[in-house]
Structure 1
Amino acid sequence: MSIFKPLCFALLSAAALCLASCGEDEPKATQYNLSAVQPGENFTDPRDNNVYRTVRIGNQLWMAENLRYAPNGYSLDGAYTWDERPVDLTKIVPDNAAVIELIDHLFHDPKYNGWEVDGTPIAPWVEGFLKQLKRGRMTVAEVRENIKYLNPAFDDTLTVRLLKYAELPEARHKAGLANFEKTEKENGGYVAKNGFLYTFAAAQRVAPEGWRLPTDEDWKQLERTLGLPAREVERNEAWRGEGLATLLSVGGKTGFDARRTGGNLYQREAGNFYENKGKAWYFWTATSTMLQDSIPAAYVRLSDHFTTKVWRGTSRVANNYRPVLYSVRCVKDLK
């Protein structure tokens, strides 16, 4: 009798047994619970009048859009648009209008009592110099030279202010806004649809009053409410919840509408690393941690195009050259 048939039978039996045992080990598809999900009322941010859709998930109210709030200095204060490069601080120098504004502000500072010289206010001269500067009949250097002649202390104080110009809120706003508008024109208007990409430090400061940057626990509460099993919720540095990303992404049944906005991701090398626009979403949580006892990091949530699961894990907040940039959603508790 040929040994071929018994051997084939044995191999097929082993394969069937293997498939059966493998099937037993595979996690069952999660049955999500949408009964606790309903649309919320629109929220208008009083700081800039941006309007956000919201969604109620259990006893939490989540923004259903990425935050679009720009702090005063835009990227100088940690809010970037897509492919935006950092502002060169050495190029933030005052133009004539800014110099006039600085002189005028300093001149009228009550702390200096009109910058009197031998009891005589220098107001008539300074105001005359500024008029000539505005009309183009004097240069900034000439105005400063004349003021220095009248009151050297005034020019010394002005020099200090000019050196610190890049640190002034109005200078940061002007430079940050110009850099933002230039980049938005180049990228086709990223922020209106996708929101800003924030540094971790900025993400902790930008929530409107009454809202907060969600913690890792806030995200876990959302996941539990939707029906993600406890063993899956607690998994760390792992993809969790087959189908969860589908529910949370644009068009998903929760209305959470996470957009695949990409981010400026961590890498060791210098230079920016804006990646995965249209492929992945990344959200900061407020929960910070340390890697290897000394490397600042934070918990994040992300989803990528190759899976329907959501990653829970940590991300470094910067490398030696630049910050990492992710999107922000805000949450608040419902009574």
Structure 2
Amino acid sequence: MKKYKTLFILFFVCNILYSQEKDTFVDVRDGKKYKWVKIGKQVWMAENLAYLSSVYSIFDEQTHPFKNRNLDIRTLETPYQFVPDYNGDDVDKAKSTNYYSKYGVLYNYASALKSCPAGWHLPSDSEWKELERFIGIKKEVLDLMGQIRGEVGVKLKSTQFWKDEVKGTDEYGFCAIPAGVIFQDKEYDRGAIFLGQGELIYFWTSDEKETMVGKIAAIRRGLDNSKNSLLPTNNKSIIRFPIMKSFGLSVRCIKDE
């Protein structure tokens, strides 16, 4: 019953506040129905991708509740999919969790590139910029990396589920909810940490980012209310910044033209 109550609240919050062109489609791979919304000339998924072909646990009860030392998420080429509140490798059980129902799945970069359904794809940095320009980011700050880029992020954030007082107006029905992020622990050993649920959401783009040691990062977008954020944020900005490909982020697919 609690799971269905969560789904009802999420549907209500993300459906009554806008009058954009919208509809639903079904992912034929698993039969899951998704909402979509047209923003400008683009058609975006209006909820996080939840396709789960396999699941990897970040838990290890013998060491730390948010670590699994048998999983090295720094591996860049291996696709990983995560449901943070599930400990195990059973896809059906992972799908029965409250996190999956509300937030979907977190993907590393290799998995994000391959996980969108047919007719949809992982959006590029340029496609994100088109969305950002449409909702009001000024052209002169569009390409800034790791800096404040206006205060239009609230237009994409959901009106509920954010712990901070700066929630969203969800003016376009994008309904970004704070799913959290999976990243390497501070010692950079084998293992991972999940944090930020209720405080932030990061989305993959398809664009890689060259670093001093090669293309080990990709550009992401973030909406971040976290008090411990490593980047400058006023809780209203859309963050544009490179992040390690091994991290676990949310995915919003965009429809092919």
TM over 0.5: yes
Cα displacement (A) at 1:289: 1.7
RMSD: 2.3
1:331 equivalent among 239, 254, 257: 254
Q: Which has the larger radius of gyration?
A: 1
2:44 to 53, 62, 68: 62
**Residues 128-181 of structure 1: CA distance to partner in whole angstroms, max 9, x if unpaired?**
xxxxxxxxxxxxxxxxxxxxxxxxxxxxxxxxxxxxxxxxxxxxxxxx326x72
- Cα distance in 2, alignment partners of residues 328 and 266 from structure 1: 19
Alignment partner of 1:311 out of 234, 239, 246: 239
- Rounded to whole Å, the distance in 1 between the matches of 2:184 and 2:149 is 22
- Listed as ranges, the matches of 1:76-225 within 5 Å are 77-84=79-86, 176-177=89-90, 181=93, 188-225=97-134
Q: Which amino acid aligns with 1:332?
A: K
Residue of structure 2 in register with 1:264 after alignment: 182
Amino acid of the structure 2 residue aligned with 1:190: Y
2:55 alignment partner in structure 1? 74
Q: How many residues align?
A: 199
Q: Which amino acid aligns with 1:259?
A: I
AA in 2 matched with 1:70: L
Unaligned runs of 5+ in 2: 1-18, 57-77, 160-169, 227-234
In the alignment, the residues of structure 2 paired with residue 294 and residue 84 of structure 1 have an alpha-carbon distance, to the nearest angstrom, of 33
More strand by share: 2
- Structure (1 or 2) with the greater helix fraction: 1
Give the residue type in structure 1 aligned to 2:55.
Answer: Y
1:274 CA displacement: 0.2
User: Does the residue aligned with 1:299 lie in a helix, a strand or coil?
Assistant: strand
Select the residue among 150, 154, 162 that pairs with 1:241. Answer: 150
Q: State the Cα distance separating 1:39 from its structure 2 match.
A: 3.1
For residue 326 of structure 1, what is the amino acid of its counterpart? Answer: L
TM-score (norm 2): 0.71
The percentage of counterpart residues that share the same residue type is 32
Residues 1:305 and 1:214: Cα distance change in structure 2 (over 3 Å): same
Paired letter, 1:41:
D
Per the TM alignment, residue 266 of structure 1 is displaced from its structure 2 partner at its CA by: 4.0
Corresponding residue SS for 2:225: coil
Counterpart of 2:218 in structure 1 is: 298
Read off the aligned partner of 1:82 and give its amino acid letter. P
Distance 2:86 2:186 in 1: 19
SS in 2 for 1:204: helix
Alpha-carbon shift at residue 184 of structure 1 (Å): 6.6
